[in-house]
Amino acid sequence: MEADSIVLQVDAGAYDRKGSIVTFKFPIAVEAGVYALKDEDGRITPLQVDQANSGWFILDYLPAGSSAEFMLDLQPATNLSDSPLADGRVSSQMDDAIVTFSADGKKVLSYYHRENDPPEELDERYRRGGYIHPFYSPGGVVLTSHLNVDQHPHHSGIWSAWTNTRFEDRNPDFWNVHGDRGRVDVDSLITKWDGPVFGGFRSAHRFTDLSGEEPVTALNEIWDVKVYASPLGDKVHVFDLTVTQTVNSDRPLLLPEYRYGGIGFRGHTDWNDPEKCFFLTSGGLGRDGHATRARWAHMGGYSEGELGGFAILGHTSNYRFPQTMRIHPTEPFFNFAPTQLGDMSIQPGIPFITRYRIVTHDGEPDAGLIDRLWFDYAYPPSVTIINH
């Protein structure tokens, strides 16, 4: 590599930035790894370069309308254990069925990379993987549930499925596994990684049509999940979910108009009591936000006596953004459901991509903070390389 360092100019744009996740593409090839990013006062921030030649770091603070310059040392950092570059490191632990990610030693989420183990009250139809459960508030409050024998055992933390579909001349239902017309399973955990800025994983799922004489794979799905080092200290956990779906043949998967389907979120079992669970949307609505459109939605409540919750931030690139919502009238279930606005389809050769950022917190939701984090996600700070 010709240069030993480069200078980055970061522009806040129209919004105040605090604990903002920043990413950019390099104009030159840079080896994947961790690098030292130094601000004008000499303070060092870790910058993580991924396999796609993109750099990632967390911007401490930058007021709206202002810019800052950073010097990037293009020599990868080594021996990070005693370095400020290791601060807030995201790490993972894996067992036979689950991989768990932590930020700065605090659990953020677990993902079933292999099959779960249903209780004896549930049959083999509920044995599956390929979903996130549990995920946590920064204080360790569990915010999700799965395999609830009393209420919708097919709901699993964060999961992906389509309900009302048409494939070839059949009508598979990948959501309601107890109907025996379809299911979603994990194929493999393709890769996982740790890092000082973010850790994460990529996995593959399979949508199987069971409505015909023989099982047929109708849809292939890739999950990309990034778990970030806590950008605001103990105030929030943040992770991104990107879901990419492609049909498995030269025939489309048709998605007729329906009230729910896509990526679902199931809250803690204590929230089954509607008095212990509440919703809030970017439009200021609660459960009455059902079938309205929103940039973000929040679900929270008391789990084992502790108050916490999470917000789902929708990306502007999502189909029919801002998407309509399914908010259950009494249960802790949420789903951005673009099929509420009419028929959809996933066509051969055209990947269907959906992006969400999930923010967890303790206590009451702060709508102003969620709004700010949504603007960070939708309109992040820009980076210009001014010297290389």
Paired residues of 74 in beta bridges:
none
Structural class in CATH, domain 90-378 = mainly beta
What pLDDT, on the 0 to 100 scale, is given for residue 1?
38
User: Mean of the pLDDT values across residues 57-80?
Assistant: 90
Question: What percent of the chain lies above the pLDDT cut of 70?
Answer: 96
What pLDDT, on the 0 to 100 scale, is given for residue 207?
98
Element (H, E) at 185: strand 182-193
Distance CA 164, CA 264 (A): 14
- pLDDT band, very low/low/confident/very high, at 88 (cuts 50, 70, 90): low
What pLDDT, on the 0 to 100 scale, is given for residue 231?
85
Does the pLDDT at position 279 exceed 90? Answer: yes
| Token pair of 148 as six digits | 């609830």
What pLDDT, on the 0 to 100 scale, is given for residue 388?
58
Summarised one tens digit per residue, pLDDT across range 185-225 is 999 999 999 999 999 999 999 999 999 999 999 999 999 99
In the chain, where are the structural domains located?
Answer: 5-87, 90-378
What pLDDT, on the 0 to 100 scale, is given for residue 130?
98
Write phi, then psi, for 274 (nearest 5 degrees).
-60, -15
Does the pLDDT at position 236 exceed 70? Answer: yes
User: Mean of the pLDDT values across residues 60-82?
Assistant: 86
User: Mean of the pLDDT values across residues 284-301?
Assistant: 98
Does the pLDDT at position 3 exceed 70? Answer: no
User: Mean of the pLDDT values across residues 332-354?
Assistant: 98
352 compared with 86, residue with greater pLDDT: 352
Task: Find all residues with CB under 8 Å of 275, minimum gap 6, and list them.
Answer: none
Task: Find all residues with CB under 8 Å of 286, minimum gap 6, and list them.
Answer: 278, 279, 280
96 compared with 2, residue with greater pLDDT: 96
- Average pLDDT of the chain is 95
Distance CA 73, CA 187 (A): 39
| Token pair of 212 as six digits | 């015909």
The CATH label, of 2.40.160, 2.40.128, 1.10.8, 2.60.40, for the domain at 5-87 is: 2.60.40
**Total-model pTM:** 0.96
Write phi, then psi, for 144 (nearest 5 degrees).
-130, 170
User: Mean of the pLDDT values across residues 19-32?
Assistant: 95
Summarised one tens digit per residue, pLDDT across range 146-186 is 999 999 999 999 999 999 999 999 999 999 999 999 999 99
39-53, 84-98, 130-144, 372-386: least confidently modelled range:
84-98
Which DSSP letter does residue 368 get?
H
Strands 382-387 and 198-209, sheet pairing: unpaired
Nearest alpha carbon to residue 163 among 254, 298, 46, 293: 254
Does the pLDDT at position 65 exceed 80? Answer: yes
What pLDDT, on the 0 to 100 scale, is given for residue 304?
87
